[in-house]
Chain A
Amino acid sequence: MSTIRVGHLYPDYLNIYADRGNIAVLARRAAWRGHTLEVTPLGMDDPIVPGAHDLYYIGGGQDREQLLVAANLAAKAEPLREAVERGAAVLAVCGGYQLLGRGYRGFHGQDMPGAGLLPLETVAGERRMIGDVLLECELEPGERRTLAGFENHAGRTRLDPGAEPLGRVLAGFGNDGESGFEGCRAGRVIGTYLHGPLLPRNPWLADWLLAQALAHRTGGDPPRLAPLADELEARAHEVAAARARSRGGRF
């Protein structure tokens, strides 16, 4: 039984769209398997110490809050990159996802630097992309899974050639409303626009992240976690997926 150490980046600034729901899901699902989740808030004045955390979480904020943290995060890009190279997992949602790319180009010159951890950049678009989303993912070869969530973003995120998206869009806009892809995955780093929040109705992704974090903690391979009943989760997923199919965003 292990203690999984989570570094929650900028919780005072980026906490919109139910980020604490994602944390609560990680904590309970770890506890139900006998592990402990220890969450440390990492604010503006806290350094990132490679090796100190098994999983980093960075959530979404409104534009104003995001602008406030962007430069701070960019200045911590080196230790964050080192932490990831040493095997730490990362989940970045919405604004946090944009901040992990090379940067965000705003309409009115409000450019934001990024941490450069994911091979992508984001440019502001005119119309916001808002609605339910459904993705098909294959994080492990042969294991196809769906993710249901909600997106609300003005930014168009473009992946570099050869970059791996998190999933294929079955319904909704995704990264830019035209590529047919959503999110980005690089090793144990996941970035996505899906909130809603993401993990309660997609528990398989929560378990995948916990397994990656445990692998970092123990230095071995990601363990197989004991399955849970997840009946409520399946019902919520079903409703959210149906919403995306019937009213997911498209231009």
Chain B
Amino acid sequence: MRLSLPLAAEVAAARAIAALSRLAGAGGGTTVPGKLLTTLHPGALDRLAARLAAGAGVVSATNGKTTTAAMAAEILRPRFRLAHNAAGANLVSGVASALLAAPGAELGLFEVDEAALPEVLRRVRPRAVCLGNLFRDQLDRYGELELVAERWRDAAAKLPAEARLVVNGDDPQLAAIGRARADAVVFGLDDPRLARPALQHAADSTHCVRCGAPYTYAAAYVGHLGDYRCPACGDARPALALAAREVELHGLEGASFTLAAPEGRRRIELALPGLYNVYNALGAAALARALGASLDEIVAGLARFSPAFGRFERIAVGDRRLLVLLIKNPAGANEAVRTLVEGGAPRLAVIALNDAIADGRDVSWIWDVDFEPLLEGLERLVATGDRAAELALRFRYGGLDERAIEVEPSLARALDRGLALTPPGGELVVLPTYTAMLELQRLVAERGLARPYWERAA
């Protein structure tokens, strides 16, 4: 058995490691100290989390968890000193590192990896949990969607009675998890004008969670998220406690919507575009509200929020600009494509496909992405990354003329090539997978164009 005394020493050791690792330029030490601490003292995370006077809020989702957690942090920052894993280190060690880095924190706000969620919930014992969405993602790493849903269901059932569960009711799997708790808060989109005419190719949970019959959709918004109903057994989207209504999408510049809550209605303005960011904002609002934020604080926090690298941030490069959009799975990539095309389809794009563990070793997902809307305007594609040729094949067999495709596995050279092809004053669209995005961020930082992510995290 461990006594409480050693924890202080181990915490100090881990903090020292974090400082050293930053000095050495080794990636800001965003997970190293947490890994060290959890090795030295397996119960450390539980104890550090227990010190948070206002408790913790946790977000998990296949897509948007980084943005959702960051939005919730922006809403709650004026009220609490925060511990927040803003740099995207979202396993147990990343959460521990964030707690180590914020010694006086009152409230924890953590994005958590789908597979790590059960352990984090057990250890952190959060006051509020937001489940955003479940899409197929890296089946080679997570296993099948059903398996993740099952683990979440178990973890949610084990939450203490006083914890508040917040779920996206537009996702049938999550609605089912919410239904098991009487006080779950259900949020969703309520604006049929924005519905898609048909389910996308990559739509996942399109069959009834109870009886297996295909759902019929009054409105499908993003992937399988929407207003669904099972004609066979009557399973349907639950009533929404928090809804986004009268949604306006302003091309690549932003979005706005009316947040309808039991206590009132407010107009929300976002500097992030796309319907999926409306979902992120809605999830963040629901989570912040469960942690005590008022509607006015939500409006102000979301209005202050600015995107992070790879999430629609624009970076000036001399007299040109980079627009970087992370793509990592079919549902997320579809929304990136849809938002891009609605803002005017680009004539040139650099798309980077890596296959490291964090990207997913199985690259077959690129074939499930609806890239086709890009083809209408695309005159040149620079395919890059470790699997550049595979990506080029995706576009060639999707119908892009082979002469319009350049294959350049080196990301640095592909970036130079893309910038050279961009006219002065123009914008270069780059769609990288996760590790390609980190590499791109490093390239851009080396050239003095952006601050590294661990400095931006504060």
Digitize B362-376: 1 where CB-to-A-CB distance is under 8 Å, 0 elsewhere: 111111100000000
Count of A interface residues, CB-CB < 8 Å? 35
Q: Is the CB of B389 within 8 A of A18?
A: no
A128 at interface, CB cutoff 8 A: yes
C-alpha gap A63/B366 in the complex (Å):
22
Among candidates A62, A132, A239, residue contacting B144 with C-beta atoms closer than 8 Å:
A62
C-alpha gap A28/B201 in the complex (Å):
19
Question: In chain A, residues 1-36, which have Cβ atoms closer than 8 Å to a Cβ of chain B?
Answer: 12-13, 15-18, 20-21, 24-25, 28
Number of A-B contacts (CB under 8 A): 93
Q: Is the CB of B368 within 8 A of A233?
A: no
B398 at interface, CB cutoff 8 A: yes
Q: Is the CB of B139 within 8 A of A16?
A: yes
Question: In chain B, residues 393-412, which have Cβ atoms closer than 8 Å to a Cβ of chain A?
Answer: 393-394, 396-398, 402, 405, 407
Q: Is the CB of A63 within 8 A of B144?
A: yes
Q: Is the CB of B201 within 8 A of A20?
A: yes
Q: Is the CB of B362 within 8 A of A232?
A: no
C-alpha gap A15/B365 in the complex (Å):
11
Q: How far is the CB of A57 from chain B (nearest CB, A)?
A: 14
C-alpha gap A63/B212 in the complex (Å):
12
Q: Is the CB of A130 within 8 A of B140?
A: yes
Among candidates A21, A28, A233, residue contacting B364 with C-beta atoms closer than 8 Å:
A21
Q: Is the CB of B362 within 8 A of A196?
A: yes
A87 at interface, CB cutoff 8 A: no
Q: Is the CB of A195 within 8 A of B364?
A: yes
B387 at interface, CB cutoff 8 A: yes
* With known contacts A20-B367, A64-B207, A243-B355, A232–B393 Cβ distance under 8 A: yes
Q: Is the CB of B389 within 8 A of A236?
A: yes
Q: Is the CB of A239 within 8 A of B386?
A: yes
Q: Is the CB of B368 within 8 A of A18?
A: yes
Among candidates B145, B207, B214, B393, residue contacting A200 with C-beta atoms closer than 8 Å:
B393
Q: Is the CB of A196 within 8 A of B139?
A: no
Q: Is the CB of A16 within 8 A of B396?
A: no
Digitize B341-373: 1 where CB-to-A-CB distance is under 8 Å, 0 elsewhere: 000000000000001000001111111100000
In the complex, chain A residues whose CB is within 8 Å of the CB of B144: 62-64
Among candidates A24, A128, A195, A196, residue contacting B397 with C-beta atoms closer than 8 Å:
A24
In the complex, chain B residues whose CB is within 8 Å of the CB of A64: 144, 146, 207, 212
In the complex, chain B residues whose CB is within 8 Å of the CB of A201: 390, 393
Q: Is the CB of A239 within 8 A of B390?
A: yes
Q: How far is the CB of A37 from chain B (nearest CB, A)?
A: 12
Q: Is the CB of A235 within 8 A of B407?
A: yes
In the complex, chain A residues whose CB is within 8 Å of the CB of B396: 28, 232
Q: Is the CB of A15 within 8 A of B201?
A: yes
A240 at interface, CB cutoff 8 A: yes
In the complex, chain B residues whose CB is within 8 Å of the CB of A13: 207
C-alpha gap A62/B393 in the complex (Å):
25
Q: How far is the CB of A227 from chain B (nearest CB, A)?
A: 16
Q: Is the CB of A132 within 8 A of B393?
A: no
Closest-by-CB residue of A relative to B139 is A152
C-alpha gap A216/B236 in the complex (Å):
46
C-alpha gap A128/B397 in the complex (Å):
31
* Pairs A–B under 8 Å by Cβ, sample size 16: A12-B206, A16-B139, A16-B368, A17-B362, A18-B365, A20-B201, A21-B367, A68-B207, A130-B140, A150-B364, A152-B139, A152-B140, A200-B390, A232-B402, A236-B390, A239-B389
Nearest 7 Cβ contacts at the A-B interface: A18-B367, A21-B367, A235-B389, A18-B364, A236-B389, A62-B144, A24-B397
